[in-house]
Structures are given as C-alpha cells and as structure tokens.
Structure 1
Amino acid sequence: MITDKIFFWVLPVMYGVFTAVFMALARSEGGSASARLGTAAFGMGMLAIILDTQRDYFPSWFFTLAVPLHWLVLVYTADAFLVRHGDRTPRRPIAWLLSVGLTINFAATFIVDNVAIRVPNASIVAIAILSLAVPRFFRHRSSRLDNITAFVIAMCWLCYVVRFAFYFTLDQSQEYARTSQWSQYMMIFYFTSAIFALSLAFLLMMAITTDLVARHYTASTVDALTGVANRRGFEALLEKQSSHRRFGAVLMIDLDHFKQINDLHGHGVGDGVLVATSQTVLNCCKGFGEVARLGGEEFVVLLRPNDTKAVLQMAELLRSAIAATRLDRPYDSLQFTASIGAAMIETDEEINDAIRRADMALYRAKESGRNRVVSARSSYTNGQLAVSVLN
C-alpha cells in the first residue's frame, strides 16, 4: 500500500517541480507570457493528477474536476508555445468544446454515473483540442526547436488517438469501472502523460531560455528609440562583412541643424524626428542594405549594390525622402533635411577605410550648404590613403 501511495505521488510532484521552475522563470523574466502559461499549465496538471489519484482525501465527486483541468492543461501548454509566435489556440472552438465536454462529463457522473461515457468523452475533447492546436505548431516552424516541438505535440495527439482506440479495442470500460486507478487504460495514461509532460516541460524551458537570450541580444544591438541597429549592432554587421563580402557601399547620413530642432521644439519632437527619419531610411533601403544609428542624429547605411550610379541614386532618393518626411500633428509643418556622404567599398579595401571616406564626404556636404549628397573615391599615393571628394 505504501508503494501504491508513492507511485501516485510521483506525477504530481513532477508537475509541482515544473510549476515552481516556470514560476521562477516568469518572475525573473518580468512576466514572460510563455513562463506564466507554463506555470498555469503545470499547476493545473498537478491539481488534476492529485484529484484523480488521491480520492480518499476529497469528496467522492471531486475526481470529476480532474477531467476539465486536464483539458485546460492541454490548452495552456499549447498556448505557452504558440504565444512566442503571437498565436494561440482558437478561443471560440475551444470554449465550445469545453462547454459540451463539461456538460457530458457532469451528466455522466451525477445523472447516469456511466464510466463508458466519461472516459471516451474525456479523450474525444482532448483529441479535438490538440487537433485545433497541431496545425498552428506546424505553421510556426521557424527553428529546429519549433520543429521538435511540433513533432512532440503531433505525437501527443497520436497518443490520445491510440489510447482512445485501445480503450474500445480491449474493452477497458469494465476493468476501469472495477479498478480505475490500476486499470490498463489508466496506467498507460499515467505513463504516457509523464513522458509527454517531461518532454514538453524541457522544450518549453529551452524555448523560454532561447527567447531570453534573443531578447538580451536584441536589447544590446538595437537602438531602443528608432528600432534600427545601434553602434554595437553596426559592429556586428562589420564582422559579418569581414568574414564574407556582403556590402558594396557606405552612406553616412546626418540630420541638418538637429540641435536647433531640440532647442526650439524640445527633445520629444527631436526624438520624433529621429524615429521618422529612421523609418524613412529603412523603407527606402529595404532589401538593399542595413541601417544603423551611430548616435545622436547620425545614421549609417551599408548598401549591397556595388554599382556607383545605383548607389548615388539611392543616396539621392534618401536625401529627398527625408526632406519630404513629416511628423504627425501639431508638428506636421516642421521640415528637416539631411546631408549624406557616400563611398564605394573598393576591391581589397577595409570597410573602415570606406566609412572614413564617407564620413569625410559627409563633412564636405555640411560645408557645402547641407541637404545634399557628396561622394568620395579613394586612391593610393606612396602607400597612403588619399581622398578625393566629388559633388
């Protein structure tokens, strides 16, 4: 008897451990949606197993609450993964399934007391819930972890189908009615539930950890105000360039008289100008290069095209697009412009040399009256880099 009691406490203890782990992750993550949903799923799973296996401690009818809790575990577990992709199980069909399933479950407990209805009903609703979730998992396979998770969820769905068929094939209704906890059906249920709970818990922890690392990396490489790469992100782009040639030209962009905008209209408006400018540059350069904010009002664009004419046309497009950019009311009449320095990345040239030439061209654009594009080309004299600036 002691062995029996220990056996039926193994699953709830396991669920309890994972509940504590996801609760800790939710707190450390500042309320990660996946961690919160994981806490709810495994917390309800722990309660469902306790209600189902420790019937001596509760009123006789309490065990019937284990079934709807089990359904909710499936919903919350699926959502814990799907929320990472901005998705979730469809609420209206899920609500309809839970309502119908709960009605049948209580009717088969308190009205007719029929095990042959309760058990299949529990399986059918679970299969239907997973049938709604599985396609969404395969829709969001953007990484190896997503592929593994989709496979495990699909195997979980298949397991429910097999258990459902097993219940009828081997006529488990009589054995379940006689000894529900130790029936073949329930032993298979407990065993497979433990396997899938372990698998999904570890996968969810890996997913949350992966998201945490990605968020920290993004926070360190993306400018919080404009959403483009910051200086550290720009340096990461340069490292990629050094490993294999990806870019053909550099554009240095600096907003004209930006300090006056801050002085006359306030830093809030100045921030709005920076955001609007970054969006304009991003929209113009989409598919053609990478954009970064080096600090203040200075931006840099690494362009993939290596044709001088195309690069200068892109630079002129950016200049005119920035000049045409407007803020929302009441500052929609505010006009601002930018000066741009352009430099092609020469063959066998270090990209930092091209950046310096583009920066010198930008300086010349400022001296020449602003709101214009100036390009630079390089030549070598006595082994020293010389710069020739062309309007």
Structure 2
Amino acid sequence: MNFELDEDIQFLKRNVRDFIQNEVEDVAMQIESEDKIPSRIVEMSKELGLFGLSIPEKYGGLGIGMVGKCALYEEIGATHNGYTTLIGAHTGIGTVGIVEMGNEEQKRKYLPDMAAGDRIGAFALTEPSAGSNATNLKTAAIKKGDKYILNGTKHYITNAVEADVFTVMAVTDPSEGAKGITSFIVEKGFPGFRVGAVEEKMGLRGSHSAEVIMEDCEVPAENVLSEEGRGYVNALKILANGRAGLAARNLGSCQKLLDLSVRYAQERVQFDVPIIEHQAVAHMLSEMAVDIEALRSFTYRVAWMVDEGKKIIKEAAMLKLFGSEVYNRVADKAVQVHGGIGYISDYPIERFYRDARITRIYEGTSEIQKNIIAAQLNKEYS
C-alpha cells in the first residue's frame, strides 16, 4: 500500500488548507449564527474545483482517486462541519451514483454542471418508515409510457434545500422486496417534486436537511440509474464508496480538536503549571492522538482499497463505525480538556461536540455497521 500523494494532489492540498484556514475559518462563527454558508465561500469553493472532486476530468471534474480525495477531505474537515457537509454530501453520495452507475448520456447531461458546483447533488433514500431498514420504502414508482410517476416522502435529506439533482430510491415492484427498488435521477424542477419542511438540528448549521415530497412526480424513463430493480444494490454501493470520504472528514475534525486542545493545555495554567503537565490532561491528549493516528491509517488503507477496485463492504462498514466513534470520543475529551470554556458557544469546541453526534447516525448508524460487519464475518467463516 502506497499512500504517497503525487505533486498535483500535494499542491491542491496546500491550496485547500490555505483556503480553509484563511477564508472558511474566518466565517465559521457567522455560519453558525446565520445558519448559512456565505455565497462568497461557495463561489471560491467552485473556483478551487471542490465540487468536482469525484467527477472525471472528461466531464469537467478533477478526477481524483479516493486516496487523493481523502487527503483533501481531511483538510476540509478541519473547519465548520456545516460547510464540510455541503461539500462532502455533494462529492460523495450526491454524485458517486451518477459517476459509477450512470450511462454516458446521463453523465454528459448532469456531471459538467455538478462538477462546476452549478448543480448540487443529494441522495434521497431515508423515509419515515425506512431509516436503518432501508428496504422498507414506501415511495412508489409506476411506469406510464415514457415516464415514471413517483409518489412518496423522503426526510432528513442532506443538501435538499441547495440541491438541484437527487438520486432517489423508489419501489417499482413491491412483490420483489429489495430487488423491486429502483434508483432515479430526479431534478428539483420536475413536475410534482418539492422540498418540504427544513429540519431544525442539534448541529451542522449551514447544512440544511429537509423533506423531499413527490406527488405524481414525472421522471423520464431515461433517468433510471443503472437499470430497474438495481436501486437497493446501487444504494449500498453509493454508501459504501462514500464511507472512506466521511471518515476522512471526521479525521480532519479530530485533528483540529487535538490541535486546539494541545495549544490550550500548553497555555492554561492551574496549580502554577500548564495543565498539559497534569497527568489527567496529558493522558486525555495521548488517547486522542492514538485514536487519530489509528483512524488515519485505517482511512487511507480503505481509500487505497477503493482505488484498487477491491471489495470493501466489511472494511467500509468498519471504517464508518470506527471513524464516527473516534470523532465522538475525541470531541468529548476536547471539551473535558478545555473545561468550562469548552462548553461555551463563543468557542469552536462545543460546536464540534454537537456536530460529531450525527456521525454515529447518518449514512448508516453504528449499530447497522456492526450488523454489516457481522454478516460479512459470517460469510467468511462459513
């Protein structure tokens, strides 16, 4: 395994780091208070090519492999997680389906605008009755002539407010169970499609999740992604592919928290010495550092496996589980190291603490990851 980055990725990584530190960090508190990412930051992100990380150069993207993407996600994760999620959800589950499973006509139609950030992507699977049990979809798709008519409601859809292109899962054959689910490319402007209530969340301000409502929504037959009946398989592939990227974003946030915590522990004096000299604090910092290094190695190993085309069902689930649990552990220790100031909203620690919590839930809960891991182990040992 070789995780060495080529010169182009190293150059882009430096540029992204400068942008995050000098531009996004300056408006992090503004994003938190206004629940909005400034348009200037979005435009600068477009200019850097951040919306096209997953999209091949042929269609206007950067065409970066997973190891390279993780290197950039690690930088992006070091700032406000609302901004991180806008980019990550678009370049991950929002576009990967079209890149990996779309036909040539679909790619030519959608990917150039998505690479430029002129069309934002979203992934619509979750429903009120289908969260962890993703096969229990109620959204129905009935073919009528050269169109499918979709009816149903999705919720907790990240980027729903900003998105223009949605990868939507719907049931085309109720008698077939998981094999009766089909994935569609649905545009926000299609008749019968609308965005419903925006959900108020504990964290991730600036990243908007909302209902997606389809009432006799007309979707052209050519917008079936892959083929009819492959939707559930497509969803699993899209989610698995995105898990290395999500772990890398978590890694960036963890490293940021460690940086802040070590600096604070060096400067904060109690009992006449910096608190980093107190064993209780030193041990927390050491545990954070060990967790982060383990996550870094695991993240890039799975990213390498993706680039090599290896099967990663078990490893992706392990990484998603480990990455989200590490982020929560590191955030918790960061609050403890900072003490009272870590609980105050004028400082970034409490924001990361709130933002970390969703990582154990979205894109597959920790419990679901354990189920996937156990199922794969059962196959391996049978």
TM band (smaller chain): under 0.3
Q: TM-score, normalised by structure 2?
A: 0.27
The structure that is helix-richer by fraction is 1
- More relative contact order in 1 or in 2 (CA 8 Å, sep 6+)? 2
Which of these two proteins has the greater Rg computed from alpha carbons?
Answer: 1
Q: TM-score, normalised by structure 1?
A: 0.27
